[in-house]
Structure 1
Amino acid sequence: MKLWKSFAVALATTMALPVGMALAGEKTSVTIVLPAGPDRLDPCETPRSVIGRIIKQNVVETLVELDYDKNTTLPRLAESWEQTSPTEWVFKLRQGIKFHDGAPFDAKSVIHSVERTVDPKLTCITRTKYFDGTDVTASEVDAHTVKFTTKAPVPILPTLLAQLAISSPNTPMGEYTAKPVGTGPYRFDHWTQGENVVLVRDDAYWGKKPVIEKATYVWRTESSVAAAMVETGEADLAFSIAPQDATNPETDKVYPNSDSAMFRLSVDIPPLNDLRVRKAINLAIDRQAFLGSIVSDKAKLAMQQVGPNVLGFNPNLKPWAYDPAEAEKLLADAKADGVDVTREIRMIGRPAMFANSNEFVEAAAEMLRQVGFNVKLDNLEMSQWLQMANKPFAADRQPNIFLTMHDNNSGDAAFTAFFKYHSNGRQSELHDPELDDLIVLAGTEQGDKRAQTYQEVFRRIYEDKVADVPLFHMVNYMRVGSRLDFQPTIANAVELQLAKLTLK
């Protein structure tokens, strides 16, 4: 019997629940359970799900909002926009809006948020994931009109600005804040480290008044505990419960979460700098075996870092076969040529990255050992994992197989290709001038040409470079309590708009 099967076990479903927490059903308050707690609440970090699900479009808003169902853009803080030249866009702002601290929402506040986000003193993920490689400046036309100028054409600028959270002009430059101030329907109330974050409704909100008055966010890494909290009425909604805990069709709802799971490979470090070794890793992992056991059977095998909903997805790529014999042969060939295939390789995971992620990396590590790899497994806490995920990479690091999740729910490969694969990308291991040029070119194209160019980018990464180990396009299970009338969507990968929650 294959050793990996021992890891496909159900997690415990009965654990003592925390005491002292207010019941979820009090009046119009809700309690929401996240799989992990935030390490900061800065508006420029909202693309990270652990932060965005709390504050994006709740405390801080964007100029443009994405309509995930129709894959288009909607006005939010901007009421309209137009492209006036290939490199210029003019946005008209809504008038009469104030931030929660009383500061006016106007052109100057937008410029402040843009300049703060792209300031290299902050390694904001909004900048490194979305704006790196795009030279954007904002200038005031009048108090309620902003002109955006780019060095090269950016035909998807409105979509890009849907990722830029607008915060109060009193938000400090060059340093992170733990107290976000925005224009949204909810005010930040408090954050008790290690326990909860609380938001309260802003009755002076410029838009429609939401039903929910107060939201308390708590976090539990154990899926069974999170699910039980909703089952008993201690919470109203739980993100990312494990497939084995999604046992109630009345409350447990599956939805595509726009995340793609993969192992990133340190391609410059021996023995991972050998193409045969990287191919052997891909061949040694039986992806199909995980579906329906450790990973939901609703997930799909991945060949690239974007899903089918994204412009630039390449439908012609084929999944890696599971072929341990061929993996062993490739390692033997590399060894015969002097490659030290016995060198210890570090496999790095992170607790609660996705449901059953710990069990997944344990099983994957054992599969690699079975074909001859010397794998040491480490599960890192969030801060340690983030330090390894992002540049600058440690000069003396071991070769590593790094588990990561990447979400692209914005509909365009631009928000993946530079960040993950350009030489200057914050999470890129590659250094390929030709690929860099192709990524930059793709970002200036439109329509079919744009899609085709990004498809070639992903083909080169997957077939020529074998830069990583694509795993799955994921789905989430969310448990929604009996008080709420709510159906999760792909938007909930990075945000949960409290204003869209209604009570039965």
Structure 2
Amino acid sequence: MTGRYRVHQTRKAAVTRRWALGALATGASAAFLAACGGRKEERAAQTPGTQAGGAAPQAVYLDAKSKPVTGKEKIEELRERFHPRNLKHLPGWKTGPKYGGTLRFPLNVPVSWDLTGPAASALASYAMFHNKLVDFEMGDLSENLNLVKMTGDLSQSWEQPDKLTFVFKLHPNIKWQNVPPVNGRQFTSEDVKYCVEAYQKAPVQSVIYRDVERVETPDATTVVFKMKQPAAYFLRVLMQPMNLIFSREQHESPQGLKSGPIGTGPFIYEGGQDRVGLKARKNSDYFKKDPFTGKQLPYVDRIETQFYADTNAAVAAFRDKQFDVYWPQNRSIWMDILKSNPEVITQITTPPPSAQPYFAWRLDKPPFNDVRVRRALSMAIDREAIIAGPFDGMAGYGYAQDQTFFGQEWPWTPDQLGLYVQFNLAEAKKLLAAAGFASGGLGRKIEIYHITTTLTIAFDTTQLVADMWRRNLGIDVVETIPPDAAAWQQKFFGVQYDDVIMTWYAGPSLDPDAYAYDPLHSKSPKNYFKVNDPELDRLTEAQRVEFDVPKRQQLLKEIMQRDLDQMYRIWTVTPYKINVRHPYLYNAVDQIHAWGPRGWGSKVCEYIWMDK
């Protein structure tokens, strides 16, 4: 077996983790990062198996009571002060986790509980009832939540003996929850096979398993994936919480999966109501232990969520300690919370590639089929003004590719994103003149279709960009507000917009393939932009089958350069994530791709504990 294909064993308490594949590496070489124009961020190391993670190198101020937050701090200062690496120095970690209590946070019930249905993406926010083969690390003691680290979930180890085979060894003591119709029976590899074969036909998960030829189960605790072709993306996308394992019994029952979540997970669903919330109790037969402390999971006894109709109601309830953790949408809301509750703990996390405001335009229609027009309009956008305006400094330059795959912690820099994201009005006007618009404007009205008025910062960004194009280039811009979310979805996903449309969605995924092949390959069903570039087709296909990490990084870099040179989409900024929690709460963290304990980070519920 070569060095590239090595067995991965999940870390136990006081045991060092061994990494499985070169393809899972999150760190890039210094030379490659230098070539990208970035730098390798300094990261704090933590000894696996310890609780407190060692003494803090300097004073740590994660609240505004011990050290005020003035509102004048730059993002570089805030992201270091409230860096997730500092969470391991919270005082409760001196004695470690405690059992008991009820975890409360704002969350409604989903439209449907059917994991094989069209709304399955939303169910990623309810992963506390299930498990999947592999997961990503979360918790206060994690080395760095701004980067991705794979861990086991149902699997205790995995390996890749060749480029067409993935082998997973399951924990031997997993049981289904002790509720009908599974009634606490033993979990086996056949459960995984059944679920994967169902997902291969499902509208959401089928793309994840598109290259799986078959699933084999040589024994009760071994699952083997045989692939149709090499799939460098496969292991990383298995971490995504759309891969939750359900049972044959429930799936084939009269009500099917719609009856509610039943899995192997740390919490058992008790019931819920739309616009009210849900309730759950701990699974006393849960098979997992905390990899950092060695203690049995989960820690809390119950979960109770509450629906809030608006932001003001949610903020008021958090201030009054009616629930435990909250995610301020912007700096202003965060600062208001700190004024009334200076004792709360803040975490600031690097922006995810999947949630940022950017624009699509009709590449198949004039004037946007002219690269000079696209470059000019991009260069007429003052991104620094957008960062300082609706984002109040809490954003970086945007581009939807996962910088953490390259070992880079913080957002892409302007230098990395190239010439055409730079604000340069003189050059923009030259480009428009060369495209035949020397007198300004684009010869006709241009429609910008908004995403929604409820996503305030996206709406504000659209208005700012429209105003910059009017003021800087004399373009006659008409802004159209959709009557509802369904109208926007039809325009964007159906590629029915006429000129330019604001969007917020990219991916989402834990592998860079979703930010490369999906939006940019001419035959991809997720190419909502009419990109048709043979060079990008070649590059996006090549990176999908390349397991050598530096080689794959180089291919992805070339994809970025081509995309940004041709300006197939127009990028603005990407917002940092803010998480606040009451000081008695531990492990309620965000990760770059996941909000916790709701969103993709909902599985972190099993690690959350309280010191009351």
CA shift at 1:148, angstroms? Answer: 0.4
Question: Given the superposition, is the C-alpha separation of residues 118 and 311 from structure 1 closer, same or farther in structure 2, using an over 3 Å criterion?
Answer: farther
Structure with larger Rg: 2
Matched residue, 2:343 = 250
- Per the alignment, residue 123 of structure 1 pairs with 203
Q: Does residue 151 of the first structure (1) align with residue 216 of the second (2)?
A: no
Contact 1:409 1:490 in 2 (8 A): no
2:378 is paired with a residue whose SS is helix
- From the superposition, tell whether residues 367 and 265 of structure 1 become closer, same or farther in structure 2 (CA, over 3 Å): same
Matched, 1:205 2:286: yes
In the alignment, is residue 477 of structure 1 matched against residue 578 of structure 2? yes
The residue aligned with 1:66 is: 136
Aligned CA distance change for structure 1 residues 200 and 364 (closer, same or farther; 3 Å)? farther
> Partners of 1:221 and 1:127 in 2: how far apart?
34
Q: Quickly say closer, same or farther: Cα 1:336–1:301, change in 2 above 3 A.
A: closer
Secondary structure (helix, strand or coil) at the match of 2:580 reads strand
Shift of residue 397, structure 1, vs aligned partner: 3.9
2:556 equivalent to 1:462:
no
Which structure's residues are more often strand, by fraction?
1
Task: List per-residue Cα deviations over 1:268-320 (Å, max 9, x = no partner).
Answer: 23433232332233123221112243115242112x31242123988743361
Deviations 1:439-495 (CA, angstroms, capped at 9, x unpaired): 1111221121111011101111111x3111122232111221344234523253321
- Post-superposition Cα deviations, 1:5-30, rounded to whole Å, max 9, x if no partner, equal xxxxxxxxxxxxxxxxxxxxxx8223
What amino acid does structure 1 have at the position aligned with 2:158? W
Which residue in 2 is equivalent to 1:232?
320
Q: State the secondary structure of the residue aligned to 1:110.
A: helix
Candidates 550, 553, 562, aligned match of 1:451 = 553
One-letter code of the match for 1:112? Y
**CA separation of 1:28 and 1:188: change in aligned 2, threshold 3 A:** same
**Residue type of the alignment partner of 2:552:** R
Change (3 A) 1:387 1:96: farther
Q: Partner of 2:551: helix, strand, or coil? A: helix
Asked if the contact 1:358–1:379 (Cα under 8 Å) also holds between the matched residues in 2, the reply is no
2:396 is the counterpart of 1:300: yes
1:365-417 CA deviation, whole Å, 9 max, x = no partner?
33233331423232564444444443xx25x542232322336673x422321
Any stretches of 5+ residues in structure 2 without a counterpart? 1-99, 139-143, 289-295
**Cα distance change on mapping 1:237 and 1:308 into 2, 3 Å:** same
- The residue matched to 1:258 in structure 2 has which SS? coil
Q: How has the CA–CA distance of structure 1 residues 452 and 82 changed in structure 2, closer, same or farther, with 3 Å as cutoff?
A: same
| 2-structure distance, mates of 1:459, 1:221 | 42
**Structure 1's 77 and 377: CA in aligned 2 closer, same or farther, altered over 3 A?**
same
Question: What residue number does 2:501 align with?
Answer: 401
SS state at 1:80 partner: strand
Q: Which moved more, 1:269-278 or 1:305-314?
A: 305-314
> Is the CA contact (8 Å cut-off) linking 2:372 and 2:431 kept in structure 1?
yes
Q: Aligned partners of 1:226, 1:475: CA distance in 2, in Å?
A: 20
**What does residue 421 of structure 1 align with?**
520
Counterpart residue type for residue 360 of structure 1: T
Question: Which residue of 2 is the match for residue 215 of structure 1?
Answer: 303
Shift in Å, 1:222: 4.3
Whether the 8 Å CA contact 1:135–1:150 is kept in 2: the answer is yes
The answer to whether the 8 A contact 1:66-1:159 is kept is no
TM-score by length of 2: 0.67
Q: Is the 8 A contact 1:80 1:93 kept in 2?
A: yes
Conserved 8 A contact 1:195-1:218: yes
**Counterpart-to-counterpart distance in 2, 1:382 and 1:194:** 18
Aligned twin of 1:16:
none
Matched, 1:495 2:495: no
Aligned equivalents of 1:414 and 1:290: distance in 2? 29
Alignment partner, residue 162 of structure 1: 239
Letter in 1 for 2:320: T
SS at match of 1:241: coil
How do residues 284-433 of structure 1 correspond to structure 2 at under 5 angstroms? 284-302=380-398, 304-311=399-406, 316-318=416-418, 320-324=421-425, 326-328=427-429, 330-331=431-432, 333-334=434-435, 336=437, 341-351=443-453, 353=455, 356-370=457-471, 371=473, 372-379=475-482, 381-390=484-493, 393-394=494-495, 397-406=497-506, 410=510, 412-428=511-527, 429=529, 430-433=531-534
TM-score when normalising by structure 1: 0.80
* Closer/same/farther in 2, CA of residues 389 and 204 from structure 1, 3 Å limit: farther
Contact 2:405 2:512 in 1 (8 A): yes
TM-fit CA distance, 1:246 = 0.8
Between the aligned partners of 2:444 and 2:407, the Cα distance in structure 1 is 38
Change (3 A) 1:501 1:292: farther
Unpaired stretches in structure 1, ≥5 consecutive residues? 1-26
Question: Partners in 2 of 1:456 and 1:110 — Cα distance?
Answer: 37
Distance 2:407 2:544 in 1: 11
The match for 2:126 is: 55
Superposition RMSD on alpha carbons, in Å? 3.4
1:28-47 equivalences under 5 Å are 28-33=101-106, 38-43=110-115
Which amino acid in the other structure matches residue 367 of structure 2? P
Letter in 2 for 1:64: V
Shift of residue 329, structure 1, vs aligned partner: 5.1
Distance 1:246 1:376, change over 3 A: same
Shift of 1:178: 6.8
Query: What corresponds to 1:282 in structure 2?
Result: 378
Identity %: 20
Matched residues in 2 for 1:471 and 1:216: separation?
A: 38
Change in CA separation of 1:105 and 1:487 when aligned onto 2, cut-off 3 Å: closer
Q: How many residues align?
A: 462
CA distance in 1, matches of 2:219, 2:425: 64
Letter of the aligned partner of 1:256 in structure 2? T
